[in-house]
Structure 1
Amino acid sequence: MNTAFAPGHCREYVESIQDVRLRDIARAEYFYFSGQAEEAAQLAELYLSHPELSLRLSACLIYAYANLTLGQIPRARQALAGVRGILTSADAHTPLQLRAAAASIVTAAAVLLHLPLPEDVGPLQEHIRFLPPGLRMFALYVQAHHTYLQGDYSKSIGIVETAFAMQTETYPIPSIYMHLVAVMDYMSLKQPEDAQAHLLTAWELARPDDLIEGFGEHHGLLGGMLEAVLKKDWPEDFKRIIAITYRFSAGWRKVHNPVTGDDVADNLTTTEFATAMLAARGWTNQEIADHMGISPNTVKQYISTTLQKLNIKQRKDLKQYMLR
């Protein structure tokens, strides 16, 4: 995640790492971001108690999100608790960069799970400047995602644009995530052409190394953009992304819903969810149909089925069941 590499050369870079421990962590990261959660969890588990804090921190991050995808919620919680333990035990001898990384991971967990921010960690911007470039890029993605959740889409886009303007090298993994949050912003602003441009840029970075995990994680917030752009031209990749979506979102809801008291829908197909998300954002059936390349009658049927599944009668009530 903190490495600048040319797209298509991720595995080559990983295998070139001489330090066996660092190579293992890099392999675990590659497994995770390419949708291989089982392999990522198995490798990361070896370093959960490692005496070197940087290795333990990386392992906890990978292990937490891999197990979220695998539905092993207690293991995911345990790993995130391990990150918080590193942060709370930090003292004057703990490198600032390590403390900043731990704080960023704790904040990222709250933001990506749409949970309240931890008050004892402090604002993320206080830690970003101590991070190395790739991790700083990912932290800025987290900041942009949080700003999106607050409904300030233009400001979120500003964070994205500033981050890319300041980049001296391309860090593919955080850049993919940054482009995806831009898709979320532009879809919320009903600017699908700009959203598509960012999605395709993310896909160009991801496809050569099969870094598809982020697309599955963000599906529900992308407003049908995967169906509109990837499904036709890359149908097999689209199917694998949707499989990731079902797995990740199931684990996500097991953490999010009990903590927040929300009831984010869990019995919709991904197409129904994407259609309902757009409807909840005020898109008309015709606008949804034009965007997703289907007929207005098909959109109407998706919405009708969704209302039945959620046991609600009015379209305006969809919002309470959708991601925010």
Structure 2
Amino acid sequence: MEYVTAREAARKWNISVRLVQQFCVDGRIEGARKFSGAWAIPADAQKPSDGRKKVEPAGSAQARPELAPDRPDPAAYLTPMPLMNAAFTPGRCIEYVEEIEDARLRDIARAEYHYFSGHTEEAAREAELYLSHSDLTLRLSACLIYIFANLSLGQIQQAQYTLMEVRNTLASADGRMPPQLRAAAVFIVATAAVLLHLPLPEGADTLQEQIRFLPPGLRMFALYVQAHYTYLQGDYGRSLGIVETAFAMQTEVFPIPSIYLHLVAVMDYMSLKQPELAQAHLLAGWKLAQPDDLIEALGEHHGLLGGMLEAVLKKDWPEDFKRIIAITYRFSAGWRRVHNPVTGDHVADNLTTTEFATAMLAVRGWTNQEIAAHLGVSPNTVKQHISSTLLKLGIKQRKDLKRYMLR
């Protein structure tokens, strides 16, 4: 059989490439197949009718079939972020994804895997196909992946626009939205806001109110979001309590939420100047992440981990460490471009990761000798890092570093 590309089909049918891809995702082009991330379409395939022309006015149940009142059974709803919600065996993540029966969920899980393993370009490309999907669960999942993937790609406008779309979806929800879908929307909005260190939307339902409606894996990740938010408030003991509660309540291991929970525990223990306990959590998280190369989370959190990656991973896993640091530079550059203008903060963007880690420890009250012992370098090296940091930031005193560090 002869095939054409999505672009060739779009030209032939006089529609956008994105709409052709959406038709393929929805199974509306008979014989369409996906090869290496690209759609192959039978050359003699007929253009599907554009279902968008039949959409009812906004706000009606017909316009939003996923909100229709005749679907009260929670089992009828798709699971948001299926890989995040999965209790797969470490080392078998890809196998788990490819065994998902529902092709739509499999696509979302594949995009998740690409994101959490640091392949953000693939993640963004795959998630983009579902940004306008009629099913709200799929759309919200795609939005979360797309927001953070685009941060690392430097596509800040796309990330900001998608975040605004999710917030608008939640703000426009009415009493007919089933609690499972409302909880998913609140989860996506809260996760994006907290990880970007942005204010939560005013007047919106809190994640704590909605957490009971989430499936177990997402409930674990929601507890990470709450622990991270509590950490940002400076209540490190309470943040650790949330982490411990999350691990105590799980009946099976959900690798992705568990990795993130271990990392926030590292952040807490480093802030409490208990590096031994921080190291134990880092190694526990690394044990879950390494078999499937789920290294994105470590890169995202580098600045908050107090030099723990340098102290623990750099020596024994040097190649992994290099890739994590590359993720850190990409992610943090996009993160600052969203965070700094919104909050008015001036988180530094011209420091090396080692300088940033050293400065973070310094503003948390660590002495040069303590930092040196932690990083396995000399106090003089630490002093050089601090001096270089002050010079780059144009400040003269160590106490002024706080203005340029993460909260």
Moved more, 147-156 or 81-90: 81-90
Structure 1: which 4+ aligned runs deviate by more than 6 Å? Answer: none
Gaps of 5+ in 2: 1-83
1:284 counterpart (358, 367, 387): 367
**What residue in structure 2 maps to residue 178 of structure 1?**
261
Distance 1:83 1:130 in 2: 18
1:33 aligns with 2:112: no
The offset of 1:86, in angstroms, is 2.6
Instruction: Give the superposition deviation at 1:91.
Output: 2.9
Q: Which moved more, 1:216-225 or 1:104-113?
A: 104-113
Q: Which amino acid aligns with 1:106?
A: V
Aligned amino acid, residue 19 of structure 1: D
Aligned equivalents of 1:121 and 1:140: distance in 2?
18
1:190 to 2:283 alignment: no
Aligned 1:64-79 pairs, distance under 5 A: 64-79=147-162
One-letter amino acid matched to 1:57? L
Aligned counterpart, 2:308? 225
Quick one: which amino acid aligns to residue 54 of structure 1?
Answer: T
Residues 201-216 of structure 1 aligned to structure 2 (within 5 Å): 201-216=284-299
Are 2:186 and 2:206, in contact at CA under 8 Å, matched by a contact in 1? no
SS in 2 for 1:17: coil
Q: Percent identity?
A: 80
Cα distance in structure 1, aligned partners of 2:136 and 2:344:
35
Q: Which structure has more RCO (C-alpha within 8 Å, separation ≥ 6)?
A: 1
What is the deviation of 1:31?
Answer: 0.2
Measured against aligned partners, the alpha-carbon deviations of 1:104-148 in whole angstroms (never above 9, x if no partner) come to 111121111111121121322101111100111111101000100
SS of alignment partner, residue 49 of structure 1 = coil
Q: Deviations over 1:255-310 (max 9, x none)?
A: 11111111110000000000010011110000000000001010000000000000
Secondary structure in structure 2 of the residue aligned to 1:129: helix
Distance 2:171 2:205 in 1: 13
Question: Does the 8 Å contact 1:53/1:86 carry over to 2?
Answer: no
Instruction: Quote the offset at 1:254 in angstroms.
Output: 0.2
TM-score normalised by L of structure 2: 0.79
Deviation of 1:92 after TM superposition, in Å, equals 3.3
Write the letter of the residue equivalent to 2:318: P
Q: 1:20 aligns to what? A: 103
* Larger fraction in helix: 1
Aligned-partner SS, 2:89: coil
- Which among 243, 249, 253 is matched to residue 336 of structure 2? 253
**Is residue 166 from structure 1 mapped to residue 249 from structure 2 by the alignment?**
yes
Asked if the contact 2:231/2:268 (under 8 Å) is kept, the reply is: yes
Measure the CA separation in 2 of the matches of 1:90 and 1:23: 27
1:104 aligns with 2:187: yes
The answer to whether structure 1 residue 240 and structure 2 residue 323 are counterparts is yes
Structure 2 contact 171–204 (Cα < 8 Å) conserved? no
The counterpart of 2:212, out of the listed 129, 150, 166, is 129
Q: State the distance in 1 between where 2:341 and 2:172 align.
A: 28
Residue identity in the other structure for 2:191: A
AA at the equivalent of 2:142 = A
Match of 2:135 in 1: 52
TM-score (norm 1): 0.99
- Give the corresponding residue for 2:235: 152
CA drift at 1:94: 2.2
Instruction: Give the CA RMSD over aligned residues.
Output: 0.8
Letter in 2 for 1:211: L
